[in-house]
Structure 1
């Protein structure tokens, strides 16, 4: 393949890619954000408590060995 053919092929591919990018549908804008100052979800609190108990258990098991 000659250099001229490679340039033509590359140019054609760039043009086709730009047409495909323009054909993409843009997503709708995001909805309104929640009000500031909302409480932390219960799942996060449960996860933190579980992690604390799991960590204490691991430390106690490692200290017995």
Structure 2
């Protein structure tokens, strides 16, 4: 199964954030992403792992 790559808009929708907030978090390195030709892209599994890590760090 190929990895799903998401756009900034898709990640913002997935995380229920404004696009501007998702952009800022990506630019600050707070969510895992990479740029392709100046546009942000995100691996869905990396975002899901990041969510899991955030959930775990809040519990401890």
Is TM > 0.5 for Structure 1 vs Structure 2? no
TM-score normalised by length of structure 1: 0.30
- Identify, as 1 or 2, the structure richer in strand: 2
TM-score normalised by length of structure 2: 0.32
Q: Which has the higher contact order (CA 8 A, sep 6+)?
A: 2
Specify the structure having the higher radius of gyration (Cα).
1
